[in-house]
Amino acid sequence: MKTAVARWLLCTALLVAGSGSVRANSENGMNGFACSLYGALAGQQENLFFSPFSVGTALAMTAEGARGETARQMAAVLGLNAPADNGEPLQAVDFSPLHAELGRLAQQLAPRPVPAQRQSQLAAWRLELDRANAALASASDFDAAYYALGEKAQQLAADINRVQREIDPTEFRSANALWLERSFAIEPEYLAAIGRYYQSGGAMPVDFRGDAETARQSINDWVAAQTNQRIRELLARGMVDAATRLVLTNAVYFLGEWLEPFDAARTRNEKFFLRDGASVEVPLMRDWKSDGVKYAAFGADGSPFTTPLHIEFGDRDHSRHYPQDGFQVVELPYRGEALVMQLILPTRPDGLSAVESMLDGAHLARWNAALVAREVDVALPKFRMDTSLELSSALQQLGMPRAFVNPLDQNGGAQFDGINASADPAERLYIGAVVHKAFVAVDEKGTEAAAATAVIMPAGAAMPDLVDFTPVFRADRAFIFLIRERNSGTLLFLGRLRRP
């Protein structure tokens, strides 16, 4: 049995050109920012995938140097309550709570090495299990020795599974870098703050003025290295030029293995229904009646829909146990259980837009609170997705337009005096572009896993009055998918699949 794996590779770059206190908003926050950005991007692509964590990190690094109205707008978009305007045009905003939270998450999710003793123990058990399985497969007599060996193999499989569940093989890397025009001065306090919270290692000097193409290639090479060569061309030719002064980059790489693996032998090509009534064939992975997931159903208005634990024996109308115009939510944990994938599946193939209209931080929190652990029959398509987004318009739409206005504009431009406070108006900074690229693959590749299952067949008994009801979560139509950190609930990745 192969372990299903999800790979998520993302990078965000902010291109900056020349020409009070904060507290978290409990009703908005970073999850509110994620959902708002999703809404702003929803009309751009049929399939959508991005990392609010990556975009938010790049924006937060930039916002540290913002002042005045520019800083207040950026704080509001990022889900913070900024102080009111006190009349000072260059009033500073304290973004340190946001920096601290983003930095904490990155460090908490950073990969931790598996102790050598555990590695040796697992290797020895796997070797012993392989030998036992080989002996069982070649056996000709089903005697007492055969059954004793079978019991030993089952115990070895159970031990391997138990230890593997304790080990978190999730690989999550978040790297940050500042690329600075070598002739351009940057405020030491700003550089120190970014280094302290985001481990950027200072600014990397490049020659935007004299050789922008070499600078572009250096940035793209760094991004490719941070994303295991999955994103090779973050910045297209001509995207940086002699006017570029600073590029801030965040790269995220994630590789995770399901806590409960899908069985590749169960995968079948089946129909995926599109919103226009047509269908396409997709390889549908099955996780037959997994009891390691959380589940809930909701009506068309987003309120909880009661799913029974038991139904009457002989009840053939299972459709009434699902919301007719609502949606289901299931949560699939990754090994280590620090991260979970959540899927939001409308009942109808054309029902995604109605769910998207409700997608915000408050609704997500309520839906998460309604989830309960139970046995669920899950089917999920294998899919790959590449997205390339320019986020400037979406971010301005969300409420931070001033950051993108040339400081030479007579109506008032961007205020990034915390990065560079040059007296020369032509050297004042503003955001020229926000570029985001992402790659995701959800499939069955990964580490070989051993598992043992016992099927107990009881003798005939009297017909029961009630039988267990197992909800079916069959993702054969458009759905929303996200990855969140379990303890804080912070959304790290967010997307939708309309057409595999």
| Residue 48, pLDDT score | 93
* Domain extent at residue 159: 117-166
Domain boundary among 127, 145, 166: 166
Is there a single domain that holds both residue 95 and residue 186?
A: yes
Residues 6+ apart with CB under 8 A from 387: 45, 47, 48, 49, 50, 436, 437, 438, 439, 495
Q: What is the mean pLDDT of residues 386-409?
A: 89
Q: Give the position of tokens 């509110």.
A: 32
Q: Is position 451 within any domain? A: no
One domain for residues 144 and 243: no
Q: Which of 133, 148, 166 is the last residue of a domain?
A: 166
Are 68 and 178 in the same domain? yes
Is residue 490 in some structural domain?
yes
**Same domain, yes or no: 52 and 150:** no
Determine the 3-state secondary structure of 356 from DSSP.
helix
Exposure of 173 by Cβ count < 10 A (0-12 exposed, 13-18 middle, 19+ buried)? Answer: middle
Whether residue 73 is found in the same domain as residue 211: yes
Residue 276: count of CB within 10 angstroms of its CB: 8
Q: Is 450 inside a domain boundary? A: no
pTM of the predicted model, to two decimals? 0.82
Does residue 244 sit in the same domain as residue 371?
no
- Count of the separate structural domains present in the chain: 3
Between 2-11, 28-37, 136-145, 259-268, the lowest mean confidence (pLDDT) is in 2-11
**Mean per-residue pLDDT, 47-67:** 91
399 lies in a domain?
Answer: yes
Residues 48 and 100 occupy one common structural domain: yes
pLDDT-derived band of residue 17, with 50, 70 and 90 as boundaries? Answer: low
Return the CATH number at 237: 3.30.497.10
For residues 44 and 190, state if they share a domain.
Answer: yes
Q: Is residue 449 part of a domain?
A: no
Final residue of a domain: which of 166, 182, 202?
166
Indicate if 70 and 218 belong to the same structural domain: yes
* Residue 95 forms part of a structural domain: yes
Weakest-pLDDT range from 13-27, 77-91, 123-137: 13-27
Strand pairing partners for 485?
A: 339
For residue 311, the domain's CATH number is 2.30.39.10
User: Are residues 185 and 285 both part of a single domain?
Assistant: no
Using CA atoms, how far apart are residues 183 and 205, in angstroms rounded to an integer?
A: 8
Identify whether residues 146 and 206 lie together within a single domain.
Answer: no
* Bridge pairing between strands 466-468 and 310-312: antiparallel
Task: Specify whether 222 is located in the same domain as 94.
Answer: yes
Instruction: Report whether pLDDT(449) > 80.
Output: no
Q: Is the pLDDT of residue 20 over 70?
A: no
- Whether residue 446 is contained in a domain is answered as no
